Amino acid sequence: MTETIFKKIIDKEIPADIIHEDDISLVFRDINPVAPTHLLIIPKKPIDKISDANQEDQALLGHLFLVAGEVARKLGVEDAFRLVVNNGAGAQQTVFHLHIHLIAEREFNWPPG
């Protein structure tokens, strides 16, 4: 994995509006939001994309979803938010460090994308 902007945020080399941090994950506001609430939930462990995760990442992946719920409750958006994971360039992933978008406070349509 090459060093990404997310790694620099984890290492505090560049600033971010951090909402939550623990030993495993970091949550911060997206700099190009598509909704009033648009956060990125990332693991501190470098994984390029979700399809690169393996069995040893099972607890980490579960942790990211629990953090999503915790942060949504903290921000008062727990009743209406969307989680999005883009996997690969063809799915519009632009930073190759696994991340979950938490998007809230806007109208959602189905199907997405």
Active site amino acids: 99
User: How many other CB atoms are found less than 10 A from the CB of residue 68?
Assistant: 21
Residue type present at position 66: L
CA–CA distance, 18 with 49 (Å, rounded to integer): 22
Q: Which two tokens stand for residue 33?
A: 């939001």
Q: Which two tokens stand for residue 13?
A: 């080399």
